[in-house]
């Protein structure tokens, strides 16, 4: 007989791993135990015949439960004549050493549980919060490791007898499912309205539940709650729905009046809203789905997917002037229950106050949104950690993540790591997601957001602490931050050093981080790296964002870029894109700025007065930094064409330009290239002059938009290709927020492939600033080990 001590790391807790081990052990006639460790790993002791142990190990390696992700298995085997065990048992969890893995992300309700919810014979019939070892909330309900019912917010719901016996029955699907619950013992729903709410009672009840506020009026529970919420939605009302990792403000996606009310009350005049539809068929009524899009929508992660809108199944105001719409399928029983009573798709926009993280306690939801929502559909399970919806887009046939959050966090992404370096990366300033490097794994926080707001900055600090908690990791020795001297994340990194929490801080240039993120994902040594985005602080103190870098993970040389142009008013030019139009025109010919702006009626939000001041500002060079940003170039074109003259959300001008371009076809222009300080630049002022000429010639807005994108993409790709050939490099990479632009991304890929070079871009982390933390870690991980 042999005894094996097996240690499994990765995502092996809260995924039905112990019940699986139990079943396989029993099937092979083994005795022993399986337990969760405090660091997210699992330890198995198994006694039996050597070949039975072999078969058992093969099962673990080859057929683990669907949500499990094994990163390592270590086995110690010894001969023994004395047996220690008489049966095989799942034993209580244990605290243990550090750094073994993490708990899994929240996942959509599985088909079996959904079938139970639909089955009138099942005791889970119509119960919204049913879940099993394969599905349900994890990351957002766990307080600490090891994952067990008492370490989650489900601890507030003692199991009823029936649930207890299912939990203890090895033959049951919910055997050792920590989130097991039914309508008799689990979290409950409540619907209500409020007027002018200011709750005073504590957010959490004595039992540890998310208390329903006393300010909730005309309340209904259970089925009645669903009924009332659905009726309100059908009446065109705005209803807040608390879900898994946060809450949404919802309304009918076919009711223009309701959407207009939502826009007015939330001050989101143009922002595209996501839509949830009951099933794929409904989504197909207003889109044309590719199979990749369908698979992405259906995956257990259930992200929002940006899809080209074709049909007329949605109100126009859902995504004003865009050619795509963000769509998702239901992922919680609450959503399915609502769609039992509503046929049309629902707008679902995250329930947060401007500049603040999503609301998560019933108190804060009701107090914060009392003037926005007409009704509230709440439940009493506490959200321990909030987690926004993930967002993806299929670009050029491949999935690009725009926001990596629910369904992903805190799952690790592998990262080539030279040494035994552990590090924390805090990202940039907007769309921040932080990450921790531990051995070869990069653990990612949920999406945090724009940390210029102190509430969001506090959320970032909290998210990092939670990530340390759920991965059982200590504070690493290094913190990596952006080179920008005035980012809050830069200050935070320095604070961590000053307080002695980490030993040292390392800065990484923004576009080097973008470039390194692609290199690390593909484990590629070197690439001519196109990094195209809105803004990044350059080592020369100017604003970069349309860069061709000859980059490895350890360093880079800036070999090309867009021509720097003035950005009158600094950040103001980002929200008033016509300022960029004036800036580029000024760089092309200072004497013609006014005439061109006037002739093409380029609109400044501040009217002619602003236009005149901007021209004087350019002439006197007051608060006029230089930028080589690709995003800003696209903004300038959008304003020239009247496609967008005031930015109300991030990326708006460029997104609307892309939508316009999708209706046009490009004219053939060659991208002017010139030389500047020893590097090659796409002469954007000259290109812009050509676009102005097309406009004067009466070429349509969509055609000019398409021409601008295509010529820019060709110019940058040609620069990268030429340099790759001169410098003997075989790969060209693409990263930065502009990589979401389908037209630009596919044009660059075409050019690169036609030149016989290989093309790589981000697949696992967002090419936008959500991927910066991964790139920052990639840079420090590549430093020679000490």
Partner 1 sequence: LEHGAGGEATRKLVAETLASGFGDPEDAIVGLTGMDDGAVIPVGEENLVLTTDSHVIDPPFFPGGDIGRLAVSGTVNDLAVMGATDVRALTSAMVIEANYPVAKLERIADSMAATCEEANAAVVTGDTKVMGNGEIDGIVINTAGVGVAPHVTPDSAVEPNDVILLTDSIGEHGISLLAEREGIEFGSDLASDVKPLNDLLARALEVGGKNIKTMKDATRMGLAGALNEIAEKSGVGIEIREERVPVTSDVKGAGEMLGLDPFQIANEGVAVLAVAPKSAENVLDELREHPKGENAAAIGKGIDDHHGRVVLDTGIGSRYLREPASEPAPRIC
Task: Give the interface with partner 1 as residue ranges (CB under 8 A).
Answer: 353-356, 428-430, 452-455, 484-488, 491, 533-537, 541, 543, 545, 567-575, 606, 609-610, 612-614, 616-617, 620, 622-623, 625, 627, 631, 650, 737, 769
Residue 120: CB atoms within 10 A of its CB come to 6
CA distances from 306 to 181, 336, 507, 621, 687 (A): 34, 21, 33, 40, 30
Using the minimum distance from each CB to Zn ion, give the nearer residue, 182 or 315: 182
Say whether residue 482 binds Fe ion (CB under 5 A).
no
Measured from the CB of residue 579, what is the shortest distance to partner 1 in angstroms? 8
Measured from the CB of residue 780, what is the shortest distance to Fe ion in angstroms? 18
Helices and strands of the chain, counted as H and E runs: 23, 31
Which of Fe ion, partner 1, Zn ion, none is residue 590 near (CB under 5 to 8 Å by kind)?
Answer: none
Which of Zn ion, partner 1, Fe ion, none is residue 613 near (CB under 5 to 8 Å by kind)?
Answer: partner 1
Alpha carbons within 13 A on the beta-carbon side of 758: 12
Cα 640 to Cα 634: distance, rounded to the nearest angstrom:
10
Interacting stretch for Fe ion, rule CB under 5 A, among 88-96, 104-112, 529-537, 741-749? 529-537
Using the minimum distance from each CB to partner 1, give the nearer residue, 208 or 606: 606
Which of Fe ion, Zn ion, partner 1, none is residue 357 near (CB under 5 to 8 Å by kind)?
Answer: none
Measured from the CB of residue 272, what is the shortest distance to partner 1 in angstroms? 18
Cα 710 to Cα 717: distance, rounded to the nearest angstrom:
10
Say whether residue 389 binds Fe ion (CB under 5 A).
no
Please pick, from the candidates 11, 67, 103, 113, the single residue that binds Zn ion as defined by CB under 5 A: 113
- Is 36 marked active-site? yes
Say whether residue 565 binds Zn ion (CB under 5 A).
no
Measured from the CB of residue 785, what is the shortest distance to partner 1 in angstroms? 33
Q: By three-state DSSP, how is residue 301 classified?
A: coil
Using the minimum distance from each CB to Zn ion, give the nearer residue, 152 or 250: 152
How far is the first Cα of the chain from the last one, in angstroms, to the nearest whole number? Answer: 45
Q: Which two tokens stand for residue 642?
A: 């009247």
Cα 576 to Cα 579: distance, rounded to the nearest angstrom:
6
Please pick, from the candidates 134, 255, 429, 533, the single residue that binds Fe ion as defined by CB under 5 A: 533
Measured from the CB of residue 458, what is the shortest distance to partner 1 in angstroms? 10
- Could you tell me if 657 and 705 are in contact, meaning their C-beta atoms sit under 8 angstroms apart? yes
Say whether residue 431 binds Fe ion (CB under 5 A).
no
Cα 708 to Cα 309: distance, rounded to the nearest angstrom:
23
Burial class (CB in 10 A: 0-12, 13-18, 19+), 785: exposed
Say whether residue 114 binds Zn ion (CB under 5 A).
no
Alpha carbons within 13 A on the beta-carbon side of 625: 19
Using the minimum distance from each CB to partner 1, give the nearer residue, 395 or 630: 630
Using the minimum distance from each CB to partner 1, give the nearer residue, 131 or 349: 349
The residue annotated as part of the active site, out of 3, 9, 18, 680, is 18
Cα 604 to Cα 607: distance, rounded to the nearest angstrom:
5
Q: Which two tokens stand for residue 414?
A: 């592998």
Interacting stretch for Zn ion, rule CB under 5 A, among 128-136, 388-396, 406-414, 654-662? 128-136
Burial 79-89 (b: 16+ CB within 10 A, else e): eeeeeeeeebe
Burial class (CB in 10 A: 0-12, 13-18, 19+), 302: buried
Using the minimum distance from each CB to partner 1, give the nearer residue, 558 or 714: 558
Measured from the CB of residue 169, what is the shortest distance to Zn ion in angstroms? 14
Cα 408 to Cα 410: distance, rounded to the nearest angstrom:
6
Measured from the CB of residue 647, what is the shortest distance to partner 1 in angstroms? 9
Cα 684 to Cα 671: distance, rounded to the nearest angstrom:
8
Which of Zn ion, Fe ion, partner 1, none is residue 713 near (CB under 5 to 8 Å by kind)?
Answer: none
Which of partner 1, Zn ion, Fe ion, none is residue 356 near (CB under 5 to 8 Å by kind)?
Answer: partner 1
Question: Site mask, Zn ion, residues 178-197, x = CB under 5 A?
Answer: ----x-xx------------
- Could you tell me if 153 and 208 are in contact, meaning their C-beta atoms sit under 8 angstroms apart? yes
Q: What angle do CA 16, 63, 392 make, to 5 degrees?
A: 75
Q: By three-state DSSP, how is residue 392 classified?
A: strand
Cα 13 to Cα 23: distance, rounded to the nearest angstrom:
16
Which of Fe ion, partner 1, Zn ion, none is residue 407 near (CB under 5 to 8 Å by kind)?
Answer: none
Alpha carbons within 13 A on the beta-carbon side of 423: 30
Measured from the CB of residue 122, what is the shortest distance to Zn ion in angstroms? 12
Strands 324-328 and 274-276: parallel
Measured from the CB of residue 2, what is the shortest distance to Fe ion in angstroms? 54
Site for Zn ion in 130-159 (CB under 5 A): 132, 134-135
Say whether residue 160 binds Zn ion (CB under 5 A).
yes
- Per-position DSSP letters for 323-391, written without gaps between them: SEEEEE---SHHHHHHHTT--S-EEEEE-B-TTSPBP-SHHHHHHHHTTT-SEEEEESS--SS--PPPE
Q: By three-state DSSP, how is residue 329 classified?
A: coil
Measured from the CB of residue 560, what is the shortest distance to Fe ion in angstroms? 18
Which of Zn ion, Fe ion, partner 1, none is residue 631 near (CB under 5 to 8 Å by kind)?
Answer: partner 1
Please pick, from the candidates 210, 308, 396, 769, the single residue that binds Fe ion as defined by CB under 5 A: 769
Using the minimum distance from each CB to Fe ion, give the nearer residue, 17 or 487: 487
- Could you tell me if 358 and 352 are in contact, meaning their C-beta atoms sit under 8 angstroms apart? yes
Q: How many residues bind Zn ion (CB under 5 A)?
A: 10
The residue annotated as part of the active site, out of 9, 24, 36, 360, is 36
647: Cβ contacts below 8 Å, ≥ 6 apart = 574, 575, 576, 577, 635, 653
Using the minimum distance from each CB to partner 1, give the nearer residue, 99 or 737: 737
Using the minimum distance from each CB to Fe ion, give the nearer residue, 550 or 769: 769
Using the minimum distance from each CB to partner 1, give the nearer residue, 375 or 770: 770
Measured from the CB of residue 457, what is the shortest distance to partner 1 in angstroms? 8
ω into 146 cis (within 30 of 0): yes
Cα 574 to Cα 678: distance, rounded to the nearest angstrom:
28
Q: How many residues bind Fe ion (CB under 5 A)?
A: 2
Using the minimum distance from each CB to Zn ion, give the nearer residue, 115 or 622: 115
Please pick, from the candidates 8, 15, 53, 110, the single residue that binds Zn ion as defined by CB under 5 A: 110
Burial class (CB in 10 A: 0-12, 13-18, 19+), 63: exposed
Which of Fe ion, partner 1, Zn ion, none is residue 755 near (CB under 5 to 8 Å by kind)?
Answer: none
What residue ranges bind Fe ion (CB under 5 A)? 533, 769
Residues that bind Zn ion (CB under 5 A): 110, 113, 132, 134-135, 160, 163, 182, 184-185
Query: Annotated active-site positions, please?
Result: 18, 36
């Amino acid at each position: 007989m042999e005894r094996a001590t097996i240690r499994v790391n990765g995502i092996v807790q809260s995924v039905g791993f112990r019940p699986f081990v139990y079943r396989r052990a029993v099937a092979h006639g083994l005795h022993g135990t399986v337990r969760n460790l405090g660091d997210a790993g699992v330890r198995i002791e198994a006694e039996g015949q050597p070949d039975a142990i072999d078969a058992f190990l093969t099962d673990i390696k080859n057929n683990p439960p669907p949500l499990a992700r094994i990163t390592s298995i270590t086995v110690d085997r010894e001969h023994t004549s004395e047996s220690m065990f008489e049966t095989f048992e799942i034993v209580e969890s244990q605290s243990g050493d550090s750094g073994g893995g993490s708990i899994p992300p929240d996942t959509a309700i599985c088909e079996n549980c959904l079938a139970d919810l639909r089955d009138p014979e099942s005791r889970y019939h119509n119960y919204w919060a049913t879940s099993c070892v394969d599905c349900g909330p994890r990351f957002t309900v766990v307080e600490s490791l090891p994952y067990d019912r008492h370490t989650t917010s489900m601890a507030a719901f003692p199991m009823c007898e029936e649930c207890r016996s299912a939990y203890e029955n090895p033959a049951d699907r919910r055997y050792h499912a920590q989130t097991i619950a039914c309508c008799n013992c689990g979290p409950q729903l409540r619907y209500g309205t409020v007027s002018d709410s200011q709750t005073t009672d504590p957010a959490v009840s004595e039992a540890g539940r998310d208390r329903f506020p006393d300010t909730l009026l005309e309340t209904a529970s259970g089925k009645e709650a669903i009924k009332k919420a659905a009726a309100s939605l059908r009446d065109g009302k705005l209803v807040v729905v608390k879900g898994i990792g946060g809450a949404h403000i919802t309304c009918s996606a076919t009711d223009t009046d309701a959407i207009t009310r939502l826009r007015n009350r939330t001050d989101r005049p143009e922002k595209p809203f996501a839509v949830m539809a009951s099933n794929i068929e409904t989504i197909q009524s207003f889109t044309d789905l590719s199979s990749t899009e369908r698979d992405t929508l259906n995956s257990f992660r259930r992200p929002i997917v940006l899809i080209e809108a074709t049909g007329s199944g949605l109100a126009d105001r859902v995504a004003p002037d865009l050619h795509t719409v963000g769509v998702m399928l239901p992922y919680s029983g609450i959503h399915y229950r609502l769609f039992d009573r509503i046929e049309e798709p629902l707008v679902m926009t995250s329930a947060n106050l401007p500049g603040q993280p999503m609301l998560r306690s019933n108190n804060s939801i009701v107090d914060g949104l009392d003037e926005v929502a007409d009704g509230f559909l709440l439940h009493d399970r506490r959200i321990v950690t909030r987690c926004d919806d993930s967002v993806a887009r299929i670009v050029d046939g491949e999935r690009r993540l725009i926001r990596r959050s629910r369904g992903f966090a805190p799952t690790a992404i592998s990262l080539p790591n030279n040494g035994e370096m552990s590090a924390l990366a805090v990202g940039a300033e907007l769309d921040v997601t932080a990450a921790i490097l531990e051995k070869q794994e990069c653990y990612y926080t949920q999406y945090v957001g724009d940390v210029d707001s102190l509430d969001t900055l506090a959320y970032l600090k909290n998210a990092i602490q939670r990530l340390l908690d759920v991965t059982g990791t200590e504070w690493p020795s290094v913190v990596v931050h952006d080179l920008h001297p005035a980012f809050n994340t830069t200050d935070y990194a320095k604070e961590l050093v000053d307080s002695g929490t980490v030993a040292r801080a390392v800065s990484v240039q923004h576009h080097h981080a973008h470039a390194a993120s692609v290199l690390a994902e593909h484990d590629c040594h070197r690439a001519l790296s196109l990094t195209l985005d809105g803004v990044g602080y350059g080592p020369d103190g100017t604003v970069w964002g349309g860069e061709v870098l000859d980059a490895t993970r350890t360093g880079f040389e800036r070999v090309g870029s867009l021509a720097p142009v003035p950005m009158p008013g600094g950040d103001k030019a980002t929200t008033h894109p016509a300022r960029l139009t004036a800036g580029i025109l000024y760089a092309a010919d200072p004497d013609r700025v006014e005439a061109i702006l006037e002739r093409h009626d380029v609109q400044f939000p501040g009217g002619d007065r602003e236009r005149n001041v901007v021209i004087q500002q350019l002439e006197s060079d007051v608060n006029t930094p230089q930028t080589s940003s690709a995003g800003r170039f696209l903004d300038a074109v959008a304003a020239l064409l009247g496609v967008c003259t005031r930015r109300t959300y991030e990326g708006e001008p460029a997104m609307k330009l892309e939508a316009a371009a999708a209706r046009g076809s490009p004219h053939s222009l060659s991208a002017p290239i010139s030389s500047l300080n020893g590097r090659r630049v796409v002469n954007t002022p000259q290109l812009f002059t050509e676009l102005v000429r097309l406009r004067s010639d009466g070429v349509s807005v969509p055609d000019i938009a398409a021409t601008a994108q295509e010529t820019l993409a060709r110019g940058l790709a040609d620069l990268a290709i030429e340099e790759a050939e001169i410098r003997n490099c075989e790969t060209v990479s693409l990263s930065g927020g502009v990589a979401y632009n389908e037209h630009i991304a596919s044009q660059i890929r075409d050019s690169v492939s036609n030149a016989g070079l290989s093309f790589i871009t981000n697949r696992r982390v967002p090419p936008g600033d959500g991927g910066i933390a991964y790139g920052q870690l990639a840079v420090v991980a590549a430093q020679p080990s000490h």
